[in-house]
Chains A and B, each alone.
Chain A
Amino acid sequence: MTAQRDWRGLLFVAPFLALYSLILVFPLLRGLWLSLNQVDLFGAGHFVGFGNYQRLMHDPVFGTSLINTFEVTVMIVPALTVISLLLALALNRAGKGAAVLRGIFFASAVLSVTIVTLIWRFMLAPDAGLLGEAWKAIGWAPLPFLSDPHLVLPALAITTIWWSVGFPMLLILAGLQQIPQDMYEAAALDNASGWTTFWRITVPALRRTLILVIMLQTAAQLQLFGQSQLLTAGGPSGASRTAVLFLFESAFGRWELGYASAAAEILFLIILAVTLTQYWATSRNEAGHGR
């Protein structure tokens, strides 16, 4: 009886499991296997063990791409979280005006990366771009965002923040709507200032949402690719090459599939480690709160 019931249960999840194995588990294992082989796109490779990984350790281009990835992630995630929080706070109200603005701020999120980079190429162009014109208007020399190695990562970050602000804003808005109104009324009767109410009522209530936003965005930005490829192709001189761009170039530029797979595995482990660390840090913090 029990065995039969187990078997029938399996039947219900079978379609999902089949699809999951086919498009997630299999590629994952295949990628792991590839990373242990030297292989190009046309022809069978041969097993090299951890050779690809050893080569990566000594590849300065890969090292730089990892550093670039970390830098751009650190530029994006805190700023994006704060901006989307401020937007959500400003737009968390009834009324047509707020609804229209919510739509406008979310609109950029539905654009494809191609459109986004096209728009920002115009915005950032020093001679004719909007930012250049603005700089000129105040009397400063226009900044060569996409050709200066020190400005290219901030330019990528600004583009990405503009593109991605909609979804975190939506998550935070949903979180804000979950806070019961009488909490704010109790705080008003408790003579709490706006500042106190924000820090003692709103932020603690949004805790889980903010953690989610930060974790999702960190994982997403560590995989930043399209903006870097389309805006600068990793340039100038590799200053904006991200880890995913590196593995894209290895795989589809130099056809080194095994090498690219090894880079992908390393990036996967890094994302896993960062996300788990964040999760561990925040849940430990929460347990501490409970005491």
Chain B
Amino acid sequence: MASLELQGVRKAFGATLILDDVSLSLESREFIAFLGPSGSGKSTLLRIIAGLETADAGEVWLEGRRIDTLPPGKRDIAMVFQHYALYPHMSARENMAFGLRNARVPTDEIERRVNDAAGVLEITPLLDRKPAEMSGGQRQRVAIGRALVKQPKLFLLDEPLSNLDAALRLRTRVELAQLKQKVDASVIMVTHDQAEAMTLADRIVVMNDRKIQQVGAPMEIYSRPANTFVAQFVGSPAMTLAQVTLENGGGPARVKLGDGSAVQTAVPTKGLPGGELRLGLRPEAVRVADKAATTKAKVELVERLGERTLVYARLSDGQPITAEDNAYSRLSIGDDVALAIDGASAHIFGPDGTGYHSAATA
């Protein structure tokens, strides 16, 4: 049975449309990430699910029960807020127990659940401290604990890692992944960080411009982006998009770049639309080569990342292109470089931005 179901959710603030006819269905115990830039509507969607905003139209169902008509506290949902929203005058223990008290859970049951959650989150020594006496990471654990003790059907995490420093963020990411295995509930996480979404989520919902752009498993989003937005938003550095012309009429498409060099893709020609096409190349599909090169370019910037080197270059017709070289690349700015393009992993995008991918990779 579907865990959470959104049907035609629509929301506008005044004349500004925030969400336009959003529908989505979650599997039971699934971890979903809403990924998108600021203003894409992902947080609003989360708040509509939580009941902190009301949708103008549409329905929200959780495990067979319509919940968009219920107040937030009656929805069987727990939320971890971006800034934690811990009650400052209550100890960690009281913070975690507050919701259970309001739900009239028996005292010994409250105590058991709080102690269990504190054990799982390793915050037992902090239980009698107040939020002001804790570090950011500790506060976040208490906020997660406050959600855990409610044993909800759905967890909502609003940018859960955004307030942590880089080291703590990585550690917490791992812990969240482990936590996910222990809870018997679905999880929705809002994030603008693609690495978080890719590492944690079973499926990613990419949002932009009031709409869901694509729903899929992380690798599917990465390797078969539905459109140019997803292609450029997911993956770092962003995918190169170059205008191309179609050369042949059947089989896998063969395209010509603006500088005249040809790329043999694995995308079936059949099904490609007419009009302007763009070739999508991830940096790893463009290698710096000595021979058997596809084309030549002039280096504009070199980024040494340790395990690999990124080369930002420009083709002779002025088209920017991002390529990869090995860790010990000797390239420097202004060099002429030969590039070998792996056409088999290239993508083609139609005039409306829709993506077309190789028939081979599933």
Binding site for B on A (CB under 8 A): 180, 182-183, 185-193, 196, 200-201, 204-205, 207, 289-290
Contacts and interface: CB of A to CB of B under 8 A. Distances in A.
A192 B83 contact: no
A208 to B, nearest CB: 11
Contact of B78 (A187, A189, A204): A189
Contact of B71 (A180, A188, A201, A204): A188
Contacts of B71: 188, 191
A290 B85 contact: no
Contacts of A180: 83, 85
A191 B99 contact: yes
B73 A183 contact: no
B222 interface: no
Interface in B274-314: none
Given A190-B73, A290-B130, A185 B81 contact: yes
Interface residues of B, number: 25
Contacts of A192: 73, 98-99, 102
Contact of B87 (A186, A188, A189): A186
Contact of A185 (B85, B90, B99): B85
B133 to A, nearest CB: 8
A115 to B, nearest CB: 41
B81 A205 contact: no
Contacts of A191: 71-74, 99, 102-103
B77 interface: yes
A189 B130 contact: no
A290 B91 CA distance: 8
Given A182-B83, A188-B71, A189-B73, A204 B102 contact: no
A12 to B, nearest CB: 34
B221 interface: no
A200 B98 contact: yes
B51 interface: yes
A272 to B, nearest CB: 29
Contacts of A193: 102
A13 B356 CA distance: 74
Interface string B86-101: 1111100000001100
